[in-house]
Amino acid sequence: MEIFPLNYIKYSFSPILSFTKRQYLKIWQMIVIIFVLTGCLLMPMSFSLGRIKEVSLNDFVPQAMSVITSDFVEEVQNLTPTAGGFEITTDTIILDENSTILALYSEEADGLKAIENKTGVILTSTSFLIKEADRPLIQQTYLTNSTLTSEESEEAMISELSRQWFEVNRMSVVLTNFINVWLLMLLSSLFVILGSSLFLSFMRLSNLYSIQSYREALHICLHAFLLPTLLATLLGFFTQDPILMLTFQGIGFVLVLLWMYWKTHFQDKYVAKQQAAEVPK
């Protein structure tokens, strides 16, 4: 007796069995297959995400980073480093408009109040604050190896702020990217499998084909999805490009369906006739 998932794997590598065995999977087994195939695609991406060394705040709070100016960089260069941050004796407002702010504050509480409803960057004696409309406040104490006072350009200042933020939030950044990639893979797989199954199920309207329901069409598509997914996963270990992987998977899926049609014509009678012809007399 063949058991799941061994039967699924066996049938998926045969275009004839993928077609003729189109009624055995239970709903929970179909769901498991979709999640496992998505997990396969995630394996190479997990290696890539785990090796992230740096990120830029431009990718997370671009509007706030765009507020940083050369005047701000010069003011930071004039600060005196201390054990816990910088010595700021006088509040300095470089920019303060209706919706943006760029400033230095001696007290963190004052900085929090000033940036509450604005977009911008504030450095205080003990931490830096970054805020962008409709996004959570970034509030972080300085690292002991901070080089903010030695940066000479806006780009270098952004890079140093990004480095300090990433060192503290590395796990959450990697996890967020992982979830985003997982959702991309899952939604793409669902769209291809469910959409193609719907298309194949329309064959029930014709007497030329043996597919009689959406469930049968779904079986066929799930079988056709295994081989392209495995090959796309292998490709991912070399490219770590999710878009390229999904493109390759989609093309492979179509080719497997065409291979299946060529071998079966999606007709039980055609398959039976071909198998009868192969039996030695």
pLDDT (0 to 100) of residue 117: 86
Residues 6 or more apart in contact with residue 196 via CB below 8 angstroms: 217, 221, 253, 257
Please name the amino acid found at residue 37.
Answer: L
3 state DSSP class of 22: coil
Placement of tokens 């407002």 in the chain: 93
For residue 25, how far is the Cα from the chain centroid?
Answer: 29
Q: What is the pLDDT of residue 50?
A: 74
- pLDDT tens, position by position, 129-168: 999 988 899 999 999 888 899 998 999 999 999 999 999 9
pLDDT of 279 reads 65
Residue pair 149/86 in contact by the 8 Å Cβ criterion: yes
Q: Residue 280's pLDDT is what?
A: 63
**Which residues does the chain have with pLDDT short of 50?**
none
Q: For 94-134, what is each residue's pLDDT tens digit?
A: 988 888 999 999 999 999 999 988 999 999 999 999 999 88
